[in-house]
Structure 1
Amino acid sequence: MVTAISPRPKRHNLAFIVNSSIDKPDAKARQLIRSHVMRDKNRRKPPADASKLKSWINEESSQTSVALSDLYFPLPVHIGSGMPLTQLACDMPPYALDLVYKFFTVLLQQMYPIELCLSFDLQHSVWIQYLALDPLYCHSLLWTTQTYFDWLNGSGVSPIQIQHAHQTLVGLRERLTLDAELATSDATIVVVVSLIMMNAFVGDYKSARKHVRGLHKMVEMRGGVRAFGGNTQIQLKMCRADLAMAIFTNRKPLFFSDGICWEPYIAKNTSRKTLPPHMAALDSNLLHIWADLREFTRSANLAFQTGQKIDCVLFQEILVSVQYRLLLLDVSAGSLDEVVLVGMLAFATNIFLQMQGLGMRFDNLSARLRGCVSGLQGLGDDATAELKLWLLFVAWMPGGASKQNSWIGAELKKTLGILALTKWEVVRDRLKRYLWIDVLHDKGGKDAFKNATENLLQTLRSSEIDI
């Protein structure tokens, strides 16, 4: 089982930047900001612990605790129902403080399937710490959060959203053009990542793609993704943005494009005997990715059954490794390799990039998945039909019974009929031969089965009478 327990973070000396007006911080404050946000560039990495699982991104022992600065520890301030925050780097009226509270109590925990992960340690999260260090980050957070709640309420673009957008973009432009040192700092990169995800969320992929190219340039100026090994939270966030845009736009990701390790990351058993028989000829690199995902799902199911949790950093490392390999692997169009690859990519995307409750639409990926399902038409053997069954359930998961998924219900009904499956328990056993996480997929899977079989049993019985 893949598990990791994070040690209790150590307390450090106190250092604050408090700006209580809309003016820029004075020279002394700016110097202190710079000294903190630039710290991670030159920090010596701690020695590797051979007992821990190696980090796929950094190719060294994974760090289970991440500190923004050895000199910084946030001062607790309570907002709302007692959420620990810190003194802020910019003045915030009550409505803005409420947005910050909602972000850290609602949005942040919607980004990951919290049933699988450890609870976030907000007190020691870099996202809390940046609020005390960087006014630009404060404004970008307010812009992102206001945009989300405006969208959720169906109110369109509000004047407050425009105000925060203006403050963020003007501040970012000034930093990129006037302050070469802060321009590529961790905090500035976090702001750019937020712009990427926010633009992608509202469907402005052109702007998001432009920001991804800018992010890639900034990261390369710092020495590449692995140069951020001392700040795992930001490292994973930038990879998340790169992967999301690659899937949204049906392009290759920008990071790791110069070469990655294709070997299994967490799987010890990569024997082809563990595959369903009809997948025995799978490409060797694809086999390694399948084995990793298979091991991840087994660990997740075991963790849930025993009341344990998978560490959030480890959880993300596994899925980052899986998605980069899937997106950078070239396979023959129309082959079984492509069918399995797209199915795995959709499965992993729904776990890693799909924010719970939002139903983000990855239209290009959905179209590829539908094409793969169509490509299996006419292959009437039970093994192929079983693979198609799993693909259909994977396709159903993000949107459920939506208009975009209307084709899935018809295909699912047809495939269940071919396999003569009329009980959910039997269907679930078939699906678990592939990739399936009980706590995440059982409810949606049962709903899909119920939707598809409302008239199936009656149809089968009528066929028996006709015979």
Structure 2
Amino acid sequence: TSASNSVPSWISPNRELGSHEQTVFEETPRPRPTLSVSSPRTVGACFSGLQLPAGVEPYMIQEIVKLIQLDKNGIYPYEICLDDHPVERGWFPYMLSDECCLQSMMFSVRAFTDGAQPNQLSRFARLHITKTLQMLQARLNDPDQSFAISDGTIMVVFFLASAAELMGDFAAVENHIRGLEKIVNLRGGVRALNVHNNLQVKVCRADLSYALLSGRQPLFFKTSISWDYFLADRGLIQCSHSPHDTSIHIFLKTNIDTRLHNIFRDLHAFSCISNLAYQTTRKLSPDIYNEVMISILYRLTHLSFDNPMQEALRLSMLAVSSTIFMQRQFMDNPYTYLLNLYRNALFQVSSSTGPQLPVSLSLWMTVLLHVVERGEQSLEDGRGERLDRAVSNAGVESWPQAREMLRSVVWIDFVHDRVGKLVFEASMVRLGKSAIWDS
């Protein structure tokens, strides 16, 4: 394959991810993973020959294996991603060699299993967080700063931020993310971090998650950001959504900032690739999945518009991205701030005098709000009425017709169909239409 066919990394443009053809792989279908993991006997057998740090018991390793499996299932959708062996990448090297990192991971496990508030931690959780903070402070105070800015220290702060997010302690999340920023900057920035252990990705995910939770801009990639499309027009997939895609393309090209339009094209391409991967044995590599996620979310979160229509489109793409890339399976509506911004933006668009949205885009924006809200209906504040109006204007008589419109924008069947179909059918009932309930 020629160099021109290579896909450059968005995070580190000088690094190549492989040829276009290699970015989607063939794999036989895998069974749906569950939240169960290997039995303790099997897990114990895996680590029986390992030399563990002082004070580290095998049960700790078993608990962390569960957390790793939960994290992997939440981050890499099995429907479209190749499996990524957690022992070989990411957490295990630190877990088995850095006691501070292991203690921080155990604290994360306890924060998750206890489901506690910061002032209601169990005895074990308090033990792990106390040890973590003591060890972390010692290395930060060490005159030799190489340990203070090591990969292991970055992982410690990452786990502290993750645990704080689980407990809803967003002030602590901010403190940890700002600490992470200082360490990463001392290392030379995100692009200088190790690419072989997912460290870049974990730092970016923590930064982006904080941005979505708080509504603030992320701390990394403030400058030297690429606004070009990353995935679109690389020949990875040929999709057609006639006649809806023509009106959308003309509208966006005429009325939307080029940077935002490029993000839209990437999101649309990713949704089509995801639907293909779900229906076939073709799967995305985790590397490509991460690059797409990071490129889309950093561009969206570093933009903002005074124009109501452009800001509504930006927030709609952030909202749909949160359902694809940043799911929190064990938290109800974690991105409340983003949801409120999106509601307000849709209201502003409905009362503005700007260009008329294509019916497919209007339908998508309105249905998406209910999908992000996970189907919560509220007719009192007009959301149900706006949905009914959008469905009526779209002129669709069945869910398959509506879904084809939604797919012409950004719609991943296995992510959005369940709630999307429910809210559409409820709207059809309210409109008194005899819908065809085809799946």
TM norm structure 1: 0.76
- Paired with 2:101 and 2:139, the residues of 1 have a C-alpha distance of 12
| Aligned residue type for 2:42 | G
Deviation at 1:423? 1.8
Equivalent residue number for residue 33 of structure 2: none
Alignment partner of 1:96 is 2:50:
no
Are residue 304 (structure 1) and residue 278 (structure 2) matched?
yes
Distance in 2 (alpha carbons) for counterparts of 1:227 and 1:406 = 51
Q: CA deviation at 1:96?
A: 3.0
- Percent same amino acid at aligned positions? 27
Q: Secondary structure at the match of 2:112?
A: helix
The C-alpha deviation readout for 1:377-399, integer Å capped at 9, x for no partner, is 25799845542321233223344
Q: Where in structure 2 are the equivalents of 1:61-460 lying within 5 Å? A: 61-62=15-16, 80=40, 82-83=42-43, 84=46, 87-93=51-57, 95-151=59-115, 157-178=121-142, 179-231=144-196, 233-268=198-233, 275-280=248-253, 281-334=255-308, 336-378=309-351, 383-402=357-376, 408-457=383-432
Give the residue type in structure 2 aligned to 1:208.
V
8 Å Cα contact 1:189-1:215 kept in structure 2: yes
| Cα distance change, pair 108–196 in 1 and its aligned pair in 2 (3 A) | same
Query: Are the structure 2 counterparts of residues 201 and 392 from structure 1 closer, same or farther at C-alpha, using a change threshold of 3 Å?
Result: farther
Once the two structures are superposed, residues 101-151 of structure 1 have per-residue CA deviations (whole angstroms, 9 ceiling, x without a partner) of: 321232332233222211121231231221111111111111111111111
In structure 2, the CA distance between the partners of 1:81 and 1:55, relative to structure 1 (3 Å rule), is: farther
> Are the counterparts in 2 of residues 89 and 138 from structure 1 also a CA contact under 8 Å?
no
- AA paired with 1:174? A
Cα deviation 1:322-342 (Å, max 9, x = unaligned): 1111111242242x2211111
Q: Label 1:379 to 1:96 Cα distance change in 2 as closer, same or farther (>3 A).
A: same
The letter for the 2-side match of 1:344 is M
Contact 2:304 2:314 in 1 (8 A): no
Q: Which moved more, 1:338-347 or 1:444-453?
A: 444-453
Letter in 1 for 2:147: L
Q: Deviations over 1:79-102 (max 9, x none)?
A: 627355555334344653442232
Secondary structure of 2:65 counterpart: helix
Question: 1:253-308: CA deviations, max 9, x gaps?
Answer: 111112211111122279x9683443332111111111111211121122222211
Q: 1:360 deviation in Å?
A: 4.3
Amino acid at match of 2:123: P
Kindly tell me: are residues 132 and 269 of structure 1, through their superposed partners in 2, closer, same or farther at Cα, counting changes over 3 Å?
Answer: closer
Counterparts of 1:146 and 1:161 in 2: how far apart (Å)? 5
Deviation at 1:314, TM superposition (A): 0.9
* Change in 2 beyond 3 A, CA 1:398/1:144: farther
CA contact (8 A) 1:110 1:357 kept: no
Structure 2 unaligned spans of 5+: 19-37, 236-244
How far is the alpha carbon of 1:420 from its aligned partner?
Answer: 4.5
Q: Cα distance, 1:459 vs. partner?
A: 10
Distance 2:270 2:289 in 1: 9
189-198 or 138-147, larger mean C-alpha shift: 189-198
| Stretch deviating more after TM superposition (283-292 or 192-201) | 192-201
Work out the CA distance in 2 between the residues paired with 1:417 and 1:60: 49
Contact kept? 2:363, 2:394, Cα under 8 Å = no
With 451-460 and 224-233 compared, the bigger mean Cα shift is at: 451-460
Q: Residue deviations 1:384-437, cap 9 Å, x none?
A: 554232123322334413489996545323432343444211111110110111
1:55 alignment partner AA = S
**More off after superposition, 387-396 vs 220-229:** 387-396
Contact 1:301-1:438 at 8 Å conserved across structures: yes
Matches within 5 A, 1:41-60: 52-60=6-14
CA separation of 1:138 and 1:402: change in aligned 2, threshold 3 A: farther
Q: Does structure 2 conserve the Cα–Cα contact (< 8 Å) formed by 1:382 and 1:419?
A: no
Is the deviation greater in 373-382 or in 318-327? 373-382
| 3-state SS of paired residue (1:56) | coil
Give the number of aligned pairs: 398
Q: 1:406 to 1:358 in 2, by over 3 A?
A: farther
Q: 1:406 to 1:59 in 2, by over 3 A?
A: farther
Matches of 1:49 and 1:219 in 2, distance apart?
31
Letter in 2 for 1:54: P
Deviations 1:217-272 (A, max 9, x none): 111111111111543501011011111111211111111112211111122279x9
Letter in 1 for 2:124: I
Q: Secondary structure at the match of 1:53?
A: strand
Q: TM-score, normalised by structure 2?
A: 0.81
